[in-house]
Amino acid sequence: MLEKKLITKHIGVIDPKSIFEYLRLDGYKQAERMFDMSRMDIHDAFETSKLRGRGGAGFPVSIKLMAMAKESTQPKYIICNADEGEPGNFKDRYLMENNPHIIIEGMIIAAYATGASKGYIYIRGEYDKSIDVMKEALQQARQKRFLGENIFNKRFDFDIEIRRGAGSYVCGEEFALLESIEGKAGRTRVKPPFPTSKGLFGKPTLINNVETFATLPTILEIGGEAFAKIGTPSSTGTKLISLSGNVKNKGVFEVPFGVPMRTIINELGGGPLEGRKIKMIQLGGACGPVIPEYMLDMVIDFDRFEEFESKTGAGAIIVMDDRQDIFDVLKRVSDFFQHESCGKCTPCREGNLHMLKTLHKFFEKTATEKDLSLLETQARVIHQTSLCGLGQTAPTAVISSLHYFRFSFLKRIEDRLEEANYAEN
C-alpha cells in the first residue's frame, strides 16, 4: 500500500479518549523504557534517524535537542506548537483528536532527553474538540503517574499545561508563540538568541510541531537506523499529508517521503472530480508555492522543494481543477496575509498591503508592464527582509505564480491594451 502508518497506526483502532486502549498497544512503553537508556543513547537514536521538523521549516530535530540538553539554566521548557493556523493544513488536529497520547509520550521523551520539567501545548483557539481531547488525555496520564512528580516512579518531574491560541495566525511562529504564552501581544522577536538558549520567560525552550513529537516514540521503538531507511536520504521517515481541494477523497494520509505528488492525488485522493482536469496545486498551505499540473511528478522531499525556493511546509496539498483562476487564488491568499500581519516589521506590514494593491490591478485588468515589474519587486522584498518566517513566506504564492503562470499576468496586460484600443476606436 502507498500509505505507511507509523504515527497513525493506532488511529481507527483505539478509542482516543481511553488511555487503557493506548496502553494495550504498548503505549507509553518507549517513555518508560527510556529511563533505562542514557541520554546520549537517546540523542544518538534521534541523530541517526535524521528526523527533521514536521512543522514546515524542516530543521534537524537532533540539533535542537542537543542544544537544549547542553544548557544548564533551569527551568527548561518543552512547547508543542499546535497553533495550526495555515489554511489547508489540518493534520495536527487529526492527530490530537485521534491519538493524543502519542503526542504526550513524545513530549515526555523530549523532556527527559533535554532535562526539561515543564511543558505546554499551544493549541489553535478554534480547535475546541482538540483542546478537550488533549485536556482529558493529560488528566489520564497524570492519574497513571506518567506526568507530574516522579513520573514512572523515577526521580524525574515533568508536567504539561494546555494554552489556548490567541486567534492570530502569526502566533504559529515560534517567537510570537512564546510572547503569547507570556501574556504579551503575539509578535515575533529579533533573533538570536534562539529559543533553545533563551526562550520562554528567558529560559531554554524546545519548540516542535505536533507531528514531530508524535514521531519520537516511533524512532525509539524501531531504532534510528530503521527509521532512516524509510523515505529518502535527505528526508527520512513518513509525512502526514493534508489533502484537500478538487479531489474525490479529502483527508489526512501518512506516506513515506519520496512519493510523487501525482501518486498521492490519484491513489489516495481518488484523482480529480469527474469531468475535470487538474490545473494547479498549492503546496504547504497558503504560504506555499502554486505549481502547474506538469510538476506533479515531483516527489515529497525537503531538498527537492528547496530547488525552487520552497519548503514542504506542514504537508498540505490543495488541488485546484480547470475551473479555478490563478488570480482568485492569489486574491484570497494575499487578503489573508495582509489581514494576518502582526505589524511589527515594515516589509510585512506595508509590503503585503502594497502588493495587494498591485495585484488588484491584475484582478481588474488595469495592470501595465510596469506593474508586473513592481509586483515582482514587492514580493521579493517581503520575502527577503521580513523579520519572521511567516512574513518571509507570505509572498510565496505570488512569486511562484509569477514564475509558473507568467503568461496569465501577461494576458491580463494584453486584455487591458485590447480594451483600451477598442474604446478608442
Residue type at 90 in one-letter notation? F
**Do residues 411 and 394 share a domain?**
yes
The beta-strand segments (E) located in 141-262 are 159-164, 205-209, 238-245, 251-256
Q: Does residue 137 lie within any of the structural domains?
A: yes
Flag the least confident range among 20-34, 47-61, 247-261: 47-61
Chain segment 59-101, per-residue pLDDT in tens = 999 999 999 999 999 999 999 999 998 889 999 999 999 999 9
Predicted pLDDT of residue 5: 96
**Do residues 162 and 24 share a domain?**
yes
Q: Does residue 6 lie within any of the structural domains?
A: no
Distance CA 23, CA 173 (A): 33
Predicted pLDDT of residue 308: 53
**Do residues 147 and 287 share a domain?**
no
Chain segment 408-421, per-residue pLDDT in tens = 999 999 977 666 66
Predicted pLDDT of residue 286: 87
Predicted pLDDT of residue 307: 62
Predicted pLDDT of residue 85: 86
CATH number at residue 198: 3.40.50.11540
**Do residues 187 and 50 share a domain?**
yes
Distance CA 242, CA 261 (A): 12
Name the nearest CA neighbour of 104 among 213, 200, 240. Answer: 213
Predicted pLDDT of residue 281: 95
CATH number at residue 284: 3.10.20.600
Q: Does residue 131 lie within any of the structural domains?
A: yes
Last residue of a domain, one of 200, 228, 256: 228
Block residue for cell numbers 480547470: 322
Chain segment 370-399, per-residue pLDDT in tens = 999 999 999 999 999 999 888 899 999 999
Q: Which domain does 271 fall in, by range?
A: 239-321
Average per-residue pLDDT for the chain: 93
**Do residues 290 and 218 share a domain?**
no
**Do residues 153 and 246 share a domain?**
no
**Do residues 187 and 52 share a domain?**
yes
Predicted pLDDT of residue 224: 96
